Each structure stands twice: as structure tokens, then as C-alpha cells.
Structure 1
Amino acid sequence: MRRPGMYMARNGFSFQGPAEGVHALGSWITPADDLFLVTHMGFLQIDPEHWYLDINGLVENPMTLRLADLQAMPQREYMSFHECAGSPLAPTVAKRRIGNVVWKGVPLSLVLEQARMNDKASFIWTCGLEWGEYSGVEDAYQKDLPIDKALADEVLLALELNGQPLTCERGGPVRLVVPGWYGTNSVKWVGSITAAERRASGPYTTRFYNDPTPSGTKPVWSVAPESVIVSPSPVDQLQAGIPTRIWGWAWGDHRITCVEVSVDGGGNWQTATVGPRQGRSWQRFELPWTPISGKHILMCRCANELGEGQPLSDARNAVHSVGVVTSK
């Protein structure tokens, strides 16, 4: 979907994130410098003056919106965790690429309302403007949302991240944001929105980002419950007999209601305190701990309001563990 005023500033898959991993995530709102960056085909550079968004498909009023059109529409802020689903080539490997940010933009529902969707529309397709190859496939980065999710208040055509205009590396000037769902659904550099009767048929909805289940494949949509230990980290100097605290973040599409922590590699579990969430933010958990000398394997696991929890291994939301050493 090549248009004037844009070029690929970098080609190919890339990942950027803090060297300390989750142990760098010490603040409630994740600074942009500590928020991961993942691209499939590379970074797209767009001149905002040339950007536009086509709304088409099963709509009575097809539209083309410029950046100024969106900026003039009612906007809202929404706080949400933002998590990468990990590699679609290795979906059972936990990557823990996560942050908590504040998005601001135009609710997608307002744009769809203006376009006057046909009653037959069951899915909304969103297509990014980047181009290139990923895992031997050259095709548009196109994803879809069931109509109910697309019309949810929190789904935005985002213009800002943490109070600042979206940079090109973050998918600007405009990207889709789908709070509560894995980042693969939040299409960067969005260029078209299509109302359709069926799911999109491109590789990013058929070949990639589908999980096997006993009843068939399931799209990688809603974020499963997950938690990480931020502190202590493996490099922290801990002393035996000195009270400290184990703390971290827990999150998921549904509210987290329970977090448990183990200090002996999963032999025994203790219930941590869990803080509230705002929008779909992550939630802080804490457990006081007075360590004895030696090596310790710290682990955390959580469950959401539906009773869903974390598997010990072989899943993108597998239980997180941290090895620490306590001196005498």
C-alpha cells in the first residue's frame, strides 16, 4: 500500500527494549524509552501532511480522513498495559515485552458511526501502510476485530502516547490501539479501515497469530493473565535477615484478583497484596520477605476474575521466575 510521502526507514524484523528487561519497569507509567518496539517488516517514515485514512467496505458513507480531521474530532485518554504477543513462529515462548502507557485518540466507534456501517458488517479490518517481507511472506499487515470489540469505547485511533504525539517509530502519525488485546492487533501506520462480513484472509490473521486448541485454532486476541517480578532482580545485593519486599506487575484483559509468590522455586506459595487497576492498566503486587542466606528462586503467578491463571511453562504467559543470592 505504497503512497507518496512515505518510505521504509529500516527494513526487516526488529526488536528494541531495555537491557534489564522487566526489571527496568519500575514506574507506574512506562516511559517511551523503556517501552519495547517490535516491527515485522521494518519502520515506516510518514510525512503527516501526506497521511490519510480510507474507511470503506460495508458502509453507507465511505470516507477519507486526513490527520487534521481526526485532530478535530472528540478524543479520549485511556490507560492500558501494552504487550507484545511474542513471535508467531514460537507462540509458546514467553517474551514478557510489556509496558503500561496512556493513549489518546479518537474512539474507532465514532469514525465507524460517521461511516454508517451496514448491518451485515461482522468484522473490521485494519491495514497498515508498511511493506516488506516477514518470514518469507510479502503481504500487507492486515488484522481484524470482531464488530463488538471494534465498537468498544477503549479502542482508539491513537494520536498520542504518554501525552506526546506518536512518533513514526511508534506507528505515527496514527495507529490503532486495542487495549486488553495483544499488541499484534494494534496496527501501526494504519491506512485503511474496512467493514466486512468475514474475517480478513491475509497471512497475519491466517498463517500467523493463531493458537492451536482442541477445537481448532484460536486468534491471538485477548491477553491472558500474566505477572512479572520487577524487584528484586538477579543483580540486587540482598542480605540475610534484612526485611525487603518482592514486588511486580500483573495484568490481563480481565482484572487480576489474586497474585501468589514463591520464594523456593514453587514449593510453597504465599498470597501477595494486589493493587487496583485504571482502565486496563497493570496492577502492582507486593509481598514482604525476610530472606535467609543462600540461593533463592522467586516465582509469581496470578489469576483473573474469571478464575483463569498462568501455566508453569510452554506458554506466552508462563510463570516468571527470578534467581537471587542472599549474603550473610
Structure 2
Amino acid sequence: LTLADILQLPQHEIVSVHECAGSPLTPKEPKRRVGNVVWCGARLRDVLDSCDLLPEAAFVWTQGLEWGEFAGLKDEPFVKDLPLAKALSPEVLLAVSMNGKPLTSDRGGPVRLVVPGWYGTNSVKWVGRISVSSTRAPGPYTTRFYNDITATGTKPVWEIAPECVIVSPGADAMVRANHEFRITGWAWAEAGVSRVEVSVDGGQNWLAVRVDAREGFGWQSFSVPVSLGPGKHTLSCRCFDANGQGQPQAHARNAIHSIELA
């Protein structure tokens, strides 16, 4: 399969929030490295449909053309895996462009895997090899790293958990006392965001706010007008996805976001 072959396949666009899962060495530390991207490329399922998959096929492995050293590992290729059902979903692309421009090498070009709704670590850059297996990939980036501890064991860092941030006003901004201003921000989750709440008193009380509909797998904007008295105030936001899952107060990559105002 060559780049020319991929370009000959039907090309599809999708809007998707793209979020870094953070360092696997400090998985509970929020990074909030996130953006909203328009990807374009061929569907991975169109490539897989051209193959004679065996009945036992269960996972798709993607290897990037990158090697290096991380956490004491040397020359270990970056390999991630997807359940076959996810790989066959129409939103999963072999992307060749980003925001209307050819994918540059620093963004994973000429071809990168894009898995909308999942953390960026699963969207392998510089795709060099795609294979299908009956098992999960055994490498360190699927076994040692990018696995969250749960009450029953561990789970892969796959689906993006509910998260939101306040973008206006900015941290340490000054607003006029007793004058209305608008709190705005972005919210996102793999399952889509159904509710956003804002607090102006450090989380003691919460106010439901308007949240816009989602396009594709993109983030959703929210806003609410408020008026505050004199003094310092802590603004916080939290969201819930379509399945009712919310955000933890702290000690998680999607912990509640807060800013201070004067």
C-alpha cells in the first residue's frame, strides 16, 4: 500500500478534538494540550475491506516510522492497536491533510492514523505498517504505558473522558464588580457532552449553562452571563457526557479546570 494508493481511495473529512493524553509517567497530571482539527483522508476500513481478514481477526496494529529512547527503552518502535470494530468505524482515517493543508512531517505526515474520540496517542504518526492480529499488540506502548488503573485492574487509554476548560476570561483577569460579563469555554468527550456546569465560588454551587451541539467529534462551546461582587473569585467548570460520566475533582488527566479572578 503506497501513498498514491491511499490518495486514490475516496477521501473523507471529519472534525475532531485532538487531545494529548499526557505523559504516561504521570498519567494523573492534567496537560490540556488540545485542539479542534479538520482531518481529511481515506477510511481505514476501505483499506481493511480490500484484505481477506481471517475470522479470528480482532485487533489492528499500527506502527509508526519512529524510534528513539523513552523511559529507559531504546529503539522500540511505536506500535498502537485498535479493536477491529473501532478500526472499521467510518470516522477512523488514514489522514493526509489537516485543516485543509497537506499533512506536514511534524504533524505525522505524509500519512497518520486518526482515531476521532480517542486520545492522541492512538493516532499514530508517520504510519509505516498496518497489520491485523487476534491479540493486542505486545509492545510497551500498549502494555507498560498508556493503561489506567481501575477498581478491577487496568484499561487502555482509549476513549477521551469528559473534560472542559474556561477560555474567557483568562486566568488572573480583572473584571468590573457588579457588571455582567460572559464566561465561555470548550467541552469535549468521546461520547459527546450533554451538560456543562459553571461555579463562581470554587465549586460550592454549580450553575447549568448553555452548550452548543457537536459537529462530528469536535469540541462544543459553552457560555453563561454572570455578575460578581468585589474581591477574588474562583471560576470552575465541569461537564458530563451522553452516558452520564462526569469529571473528578482532582488527580486525573480530566480533572476539573479552575481559574482565579480579581
Q: TM-score range by the shorter chain?
A: over 0.9
The question of whether the paired residues in 1 share the 8 Å contact of 2:172 and 2:259 is answered with no
CA distance in 2, matches of 1:224, 1:116: 34
User: Which residue does 1:58 correspond to in 2?
Assistant: none
Letter in 2 for 1:229: I
User: Which residue does 1:102 correspond to in 2?
Assistant: 38
CA distance in 1, matches of 2:154, 2:174: 45
- Does 2:27 correspond to 1:91? yes
CA distance in 2, matches of 1:116, 1:284: 43
C-alpha displacement of 1:235:
4.4
C-alpha displacement of 1:231:
0.6
Structure 1, unpaired ranges of 5+? 1-64
The one-character-per-residue Cα deviations of 1:136-195 (angstroms, maximum 9, x if unpaired) are 112100000000000000000000000000000000000000000000000000100010
The one-character-per-residue Cα deviations of 1:41-68 (angstroms, maximum 9, x if unpaired) are xxxxxxxxxxxxxxxxxxxxxxxx2211
User: Which residue does 1:26 correspond to in 2?
Assistant: none
| Matching residue within 4, 9, 12 for 1:73 | 9
- Does 2:89 correspond to 1:152? yes
CA distance in 2, matches of 1:202, 1:305: 33
CA distance in 2, matches of 1:282, 1:305: 14
CA distance in 2, matches of 1:227, 1:280: 15
Q: How does 1:35-46 map to 2 (within 5 A)?
A: none
Letter in 2 for 1:113: D
Report SS of the residue matched to 2:161.
coil
User: Which residue does 1:113 correspond to in 2?
Assistant: 49
CA distance in 1, matches of 2:239, 2:129: 38
TM-score (norm 2): 0.98
- Does 2:115 correspond to 1:178? yes
Report SS of the residue matched to 1:89.
coil
CA distance in 1, matches of 2:254, 2:211: 18
C-alpha displacement of 1:287:
1.1
C-alpha displacement of 1:222:
0.5
CA distance in 2, matches of 1:181, 1:119: 26
Report SS of the residue matched to 1:202.
coil
| Structure 1 runs, 4 residues or longer, greater than 4 Å off | none
CA distance in 1, matches of 2:53, 2:98: 29
Letter in 2 for 1:294: G
TM-score (norm 1): 0.79
User: Which residue does 2:255 correspond to in 1?
Assistant: 318
C-alpha displacement of 1:115:
1.7
CA distance in 2, matches of 1:87, 1:290: 38
C-alpha displacement of 1:72:
1.3
C-alpha displacement of 1:116:
2.3
Letter in 2 for 1:205: T
Report SS of the residue matched to 1:253.
coil
C-alpha displacement of 1:236:
2.9
Q: How does 1:260-275 map to 2 (within 5 A)?
A: 260-275=197-212
CA distance in 2, matches of 1:86, 1:112: 30
Report SS of the residue matched to 1:272.
strand
Letter in 2 for 1:67: L
Structure 2, unpaired ranges of 5+? none
How many residues align? The count is 261
CA distance in 2, matches of 1:91, 1:236: 30
| Matching residue within 131, 137, 148 for 2:67 | 131
| Percent of residue pairs identical | 57
C-alpha RMSD over aligned residues: 0.8
| Matching residue within 252, 256, 264 for 2:189 | 252
Report SS of the residue matched to 1:111.
helix
CA distance in 2, matches of 1:67, 1:78: 20
